[in-house]
A and B are shown apart, each in its own frame.
Chain A
Amino acid sequence: MDADGEREARIVAAKWYELFSRGARDWLRHDEKVREAVRANLPEIIAGADLNSEGARTVRVPVRMLEHHHFRLRRADESQGAGQGKAKPGDVFTDPSKEGQGEKGPGGREEGEVQLLLEFKIDDIVDWLWEEMQLPNLRARVGPSDETDWTREGWDRHGARSRLDRRRSFKEMVKRRGSSAATPNFIDEDLRYRQLARRRQPAVHAVVFFMLDVSGSMSDRDRKLAKTFFFWVVQGLRREYRSLETVFVAHTTEAWEFSEPEFFQVSGSGGTVSSTGLRKVREIIDARYNPGRSNIYLFYATDGDNSVSDAAEARTALATITADACFTGYVEVASGLSRQLATETGRLFAELQAAGCAAGSYAIADFDAVWDAVRHFFTAENEAPAP
């Protein structure tokens, strides 16, 4: 009793500041402002974001702390200060605060730069992007699929105890008894059990082929550009499809399928023969995907230098794919060179487009262009004639 009273007294004595932190409140407001700022500059930030590898639902964006500005004098080339200790005129030091030791100045005026790593949900970013850019959503191709699911369907007098529908059973009991006021009693006839049935569901399936040229001419930077682009494409498509499969194909003069983590590590050497990659894609489609049921997308990133002798074969191979694919996109990643699609592969896709196929191409020279590319393809997809 005494102990209770004491505890109560302590609770009453708990001051407001034990329950509420103004510092934390204003900190949250700061973070909110940072988020607003990030949101206002999304395309640039996306280009620079550190994309966590597969499965992660967040990206980390490094941001600087906001500064509330005051009038300040410009940095002096030379300034005087006062210090204390064992020092003689003419002694020379280097500023310890410039070595990152973080001297605590009076009033905290010269605070060391602090970088925050804010984590953003990819879903949020994609939502913002859609809102911001007003991108048309992709059109989904609905078809029957192998997907089956259990659905609830009807009642039966027999069933597992756990599926007993009490409400329904009670109604049955009331119906049987009419309005007689006897104490409620159930008999077996009254009981109703929910039934489940296996039903095929119309499902929206998509498979995206990412094909990357890893020949000697593709630099690390080119691959990173391609990766960033691919990443946001997956995010965009994933919004539309309940199940999205990704297939990664890399090629030089040969072609291989890779898992996602391996895919971006791969580097090869030697020439570029696009048709090998395209044929590989075709093989995979035939082996694993039914074009009638799946929406097939192909995005191909290369520097565009397909070997001239391969042109005809590449054209045929590509044609077999576009016949079944919802869309094929060509991304020319050639940092440093701005040839604007005037390449062997570029011409190939230009022909496709001219022939009215759902295809598009875009040249990415630097990270800023990644978002433009995403926008380009997704808008183009909407305008493409329905297959």
Chain B
Amino acid sequence: MTEDWQGYVRRIEELAARSGLKFHPVDFEAVPDSFMMEIAVYGLPVRMPHWSFGVRYIYQLIQRHMGHSRLFEVVFPGNPGHAYLAQSNGLAENVLVTAHVLGHADFSRNNLLFRRCQEQVSERIVEHAASHARQISAAIEAHGAQRVEVALDAALALEQHIDVDQSLRRGRYPEYAADHKAPADDAFRKRFAALESAAGGTAPEARKRAPVPPHPERDLLWFVANYAPEMESWERDIFLAVREESFYFYPVFATQIMNEGWASYWHARLLREADFIPQQAYVDAIKCHSDVVRPIAADSQVSLSINPYHLGFSMWEKIIATDGLEAARGIMEQDDDFAFVRNHLTRELAEELGLFRYSARSDGKITVLEPDLGALHEAVLAPKYNFGAPIVSAAHVRNDGTLELTHDSGTDGRGLDLERSAKVLAYLQRVWRRPVVLTTVNQAGSALELNAP
């Protein structure tokens, strides 16, 4: 049966290329379900060891036992791409998944955000992450599991705090402040210059050291790795390794609706056009497709979350039906989810799909709100702002090495969860090795300072 599928792979690839998909070659590998689950837990097939993955692994096991999640495939962009398929997939599922993977491969090769991050990180993220894992194993060997865990506790706790608008390999801040106050060339200035020459030339102007950081720094992983007063070089390497992986994860996170929608659109379309697939396999695959893009669980009327597969799939179908494939490819190349949803989730489509906005109170009471397209967009996108994390930046390093962090509660709308934040500060303090303080706001909105230690 695997051979059957192998034979189809080539034909599906040819069909995809004829349909205008442009993708790097993809290596397919069928792996046991247990390994599929681990890939989902770690986000990468081989990744650094940390106990927090063990926690996710337990949750994942529980979910699997409850029959919730079934993973068909995981695909990693690159040249070549890597796709892992569950060995338990049937022929129909594998045919569907192959087409789906090619949709992803097309997306990750052509979408600008993906391309930029891949240029910076690597086109071989799987191997790259494995080398990080090896590097960390070597650190464990050299410095002991305890010390490495301390560094990883801090680095992984800050994994969402990167700045993708900066380059992955950015240099340190300029040492000296730029002299941006060019003196105005007015009459007074001329008289003053004349005076100076009379006094015997200009005194050499003392250059001013730039403060560190010169502006609030959102890339906390980079900042700590570069400016921590007393960090071992192997600890810096761990921070930079985690940061690099975050740069890889960002486009996956920020284009999920588009990317999954695009892949779902293409698996549906390629299946329709693949006349070489036996009838039964086609029917099974379509059944599987409708399970994947089903917006609402079979036994309920309403879902309080939106299935990104379904939303993306419906949006692409609409765009391609009205504006044609060329326009759709243009959007696919240039947008991320923010632009995609804000520009292309129209009122008609939202109504057609039955999307609604609700307000949830902390006591569990949920009220459906009046339709408002702009607000609906933001409700869909809210979990995606800033890589899904609160906006925390490094504001200042005091003379004694104390690190000051600030939380932008104005943008985030409310303060931080104090208990968790205190724990994160404690992690961070152990690698920063000087006090760390964080300002945020309390329930009433007045400023509040957390300290570690």
B-binding residues in A (CB < 8 A): 15, 17-18, 21-31, 33, 65-96, 98, 102-109, 111, 114
Contacts and interface: CB of A to CB of B under 8 A. Distances in A.
Interface in B11-68: 31-32, 34-35, 37-38, 41-42, 45-47, 49-60, 62-63, 66, 68
Given A68-B157, A77-B361, A84 B54 contact: no
Interface string B95-133: 000000000000000000000000000000000000000
A69 B379 contact: no
A84 B416 contact: no
B7 interface: no
A290 to B, nearest CB: 54
A84 B51 contact: no
Contacts of A80: 357-360, 369, 375, 378-379, 382
Contacts of B47: 22
Interface string B318-361: 00000000000000000000000000000000000111111111
A208 B437 CA distance: 56
Interface stretch (B168-176, B209-217, B417-425): B417-425
A81 B156 contact: no
B13 to A, nearest CB: 24
A103 B304 contact: yes
A254 B66 CA distance: 55
Contacts of A15: 31
Contacts of A72: 390, 416-417, 420-421
B144 interface: no
B126 to A, nearest CB: 13
List the 7 closest A-B pairs by CB distance, nearest first: A26-B54, A85-B302, A68-B52, A23-B57, A27-B54, A30-B54, A69-B423
A72 B60 CA distance: 22
* Max chain A Cβ within 10 angstroms of own Cβ: one of B55, B153, B390: B55
Contacts of A29: 49-51, 54
A84 B370 contact: no
Interface string B358-392: 11111011111111000110111011000011101
Contacts of A18: 32, 35
Interface stretch (B190-198, B235-243, B305-313): B305-313
Given A87-B354, A96-B304, A66 B392 contact: no
B324 to A, nearest CB: 27
A85 B296 contact: yes
Given A68-B153, A68-B156, A89 B379 contact: no
Contacts, number: 234
Interface string B233-270: 00000000000000000000000100000000000000
B38 A106 contact: no
A26 B57 contact: yes
B414 interface: yes
Given A83-B302, A102-B66, A114-B59, A76 B414 contact: yes
A94 B367 CA distance: 9
Given A17-B35, A84-B296, A70 B424 contact: yes
B187 to A, nearest CB: 54
Contacts of B399: none
B32 A17 contact: yes
B429 interface: no
A68 B360 contact: no
B415 interface: yes
B55 A86 contact: no
Contact of A67 (B50, B55, B69, B304): B55
Contacts of B370: 89
B446 to A, nearest CB: 14
Interface in B165-203: none
A77 B296 CA distance: 26
Contact of A83 (B57, B304, B371): B304
Contacts of B296: 84-85
21 contacts: A15-B31, A17-B32, A22-B49, A24-B57, A29-B50, A30-B54, A31-B54, A65-B58, A68-B52, A69-B157, A73-B414, A76-B414, A79-B359, A80-B369, A81-B379, A82-B380, A83-B306, A87-B356, A89-B371, A103-B305, A108-B56
Nearest to B355: A84
Contacts of A91: 367-368
Given A25-B49, A72-B417, A86-B302, A111 B59 contact: yes
Nearest to A98: B364
A26 to B, nearest CB: 3
Nearest to A82: B379
B439 interface: no
* Max chain A Cβ within 10 angstroms of own Cβ: one of B31, B53, B300: B53
A79 B160 contact: no
A66 B55 contact: yes
B303 interface: yes
Given A70-B389, A80-B375, 16 more contacts: A27-B57, A68-B157, A71-B424, A76-B362, A76-B414, A81-B357, A82-B376, A83-B304, A84-B356, A88-B368, A89-B369, A89-B371, A95-B366, A102-B66, A106-B383, A107-B388
Contact of A92 (B256, B353, B365): B365
B134 to A, nearest CB: 13
Given A78-B359, A92-B365, A68 B51 contact: yes
Nearest to B422: A69
